[in-house]
Amino acid sequence: MRTSARLAAIALLLVAGLGPAAAQTPADPGKPLELTPQQRSKIHQTVMQERAAKVKTPAPPSLPVAVGAEIPAVTALYDLPDAIQIEFPETKLYKYTVVNNDVVIVDATRMKVVEVIDR
């Protein structure tokens, strides 16, 4: 009887989307990040300082950079710098690329732009 109750509880959690995978995706994927001007500035500055060491394949200048835009799956994306992920934990699940000196933050699971931080 206990086994049936456990299986039912597990099935309910999985159907409700509360399984292990739910903890690994952004709370509201595709929604723009809510960053203050200071946070945006710090992210842009840190990424631009570290990009020479990280960015091996630059994004094409024609890449769409509007929030909500889909980007091609072949676009090289990079983890945000550790310092940014620690200071702004809401950015941990996102990746970035740089287009024309703008930092483009992407939900890599959906390949959608969630934030554009311009210079």
pLDDT at 25 over 60: no
How high is the pLDDT of residue 53?
Answer: 81
Kindly report the length of the chain: 119
* Model confidence band, residue 54 (pLDDT cutoffs 50, 70, 90): confident
Please give the order of strands across the beta sheet that includes 102-107. 78-79, 95-99, 102-107, 112-117
The pTM is what?
0.71
Q: Sketch the domain layout of the chain as residue ranges.
A: 26-117
How high is the pLDDT of residue 115?
Answer: 94
Percent of the chain with pLDDT over 70: 73
Dihedral sign computed on CA atoms, order 75, 34, 89, 43:
positive
* Model confidence band, residue 15 (pLDDT cutoffs 50, 70, 90): very low
Class (C level, CATH) for 26-117: alpha beta
How many Å is the maximal CA-CA distance in the chain?
Answer: 62
